Structure formats: C-alpha cells, structure tokens
Amino acid sequence: MLITAGPTREYFDTVRFISNPSSGRMGYAVAASAKREGHDVTLVSGPVSLDAPVGVELIRVVSAAEMFEASCHAFDTCDAAIMTAAVCDYRPARRLDHKLQKRFQPRAIKLVPTRDIAAHLGSIKEDRVVVAFAMEDHDHRAHAEGKLRRKKCDAILLNGPENVGSDDATVAILESGGEWSRPVSGSKTRIALRVVRMVERLIDVRR
C-alpha cells in the first residue's frame, strides 16, 4: 500500500513558503495500521514531527512536485493508494534564489496550480484501488462527491479542519457508487483501521 501524509511546502524564496497545518497524524496512523494488518507499506510524507511506524518504508519529501514524483514511482508496485496528505493546491510560479528583503509596500506573488496526485493515480489505476481524503469547510458533501468523480477514486473520506492536529477525528466515507456512511468518530488509529479494512475489501473485489 502507498500512503501519503502531511503537508507540502511551496517556497517562494530560500526561507519562506506556503503551507498548511496538517500534522500527518492520520496518514501515519493509516500506515501503522496497514503494517499491523500485514501489508508492505510505503509512506510518502511531507514535513512533520512524527517518527515512521516500525517496518514502514518512509520517503520524506517537501514540495508537491516531490510528493507527486515519489508517489507515482511507489504506485507502480502497489495494490492501493490512500491519499491522506494535505498537498498544497498552488505553488509560487517562481522561486527566488535568495531571501526576499522586506519593503514597506505590498508585493504580489503569482501562484500556479500543483499537479493533482490523487487524480493522476486515479487515471492510471486500472484494477488498483485509490482512496482520497477531502478537507472541506463548506458544502462539504457536494465538494467531496465532486472530487470522488473527478479523481476517479474508489472512495473518499470527508475530513474537516477541526480534525487537524488532534488525536481524534470525525469523518464520513463515500464509496464510488454507494451512499455516505454515518459519521465515524474516534481515535485516528481506530479510523485508520476502518480505512485499511475497507481498502482490503475493495482490493479483494478486484481480484
């Protein structure tokens, strides 16, 4: 199984960057759960303050481009990908090779879209399984349902900002062609096990 976790950082000079507050705890919990269930696990992680679960292959990355490259490479030998990472949707169009000096006037930074990792893996998955996470703060289900269709994923977990950095979470799960689950609450370890077992079931259906 391939699992992505944590944030990415998109630098606009040598020291400053755009990012988000993802802690990586959900992805690391999923990786640990998958390993305990007997799977070979590759964890592609953005910058977080967490130790790799025992027995998991950890690939550390910083930017969305690095995560895209590492994920595509790992997916070649995987049966499934669980995309928990909070990848930045945009990056600065240009990264300066020096620190931008402060001036007492506004500055404009042009942003360009990053590549959508889950959507790419969904487009090449064939008989493999791809599960995505959707972090939403309004029109939650509508946005998540749209992402499920566009990214050609097998399931999507609806996440919320209130879960960031916490050991506990509340999510809802939608499988392709199915109905929304009731809210699933508890420790991220508990939710992770449910996700892994769902993926195992989806893999078995494909075989």
Residues 43, 59: contact at Cβ < 8 Å?
yes
3-state secondary structure of 82: strand
């566009």: which residue's tokens?
150
Q: Is the dihedral of CA 61, 63, 64, 68 positive or negative?
A: negative
Active-site positions read: 20
Tallying the residues shown for the chain, one arrives at 207
* CA–CA gap between residue 161 and residue 142 (Å, rounded): 17
Residues 120, 112: contact at Cβ < 8 Å?
no
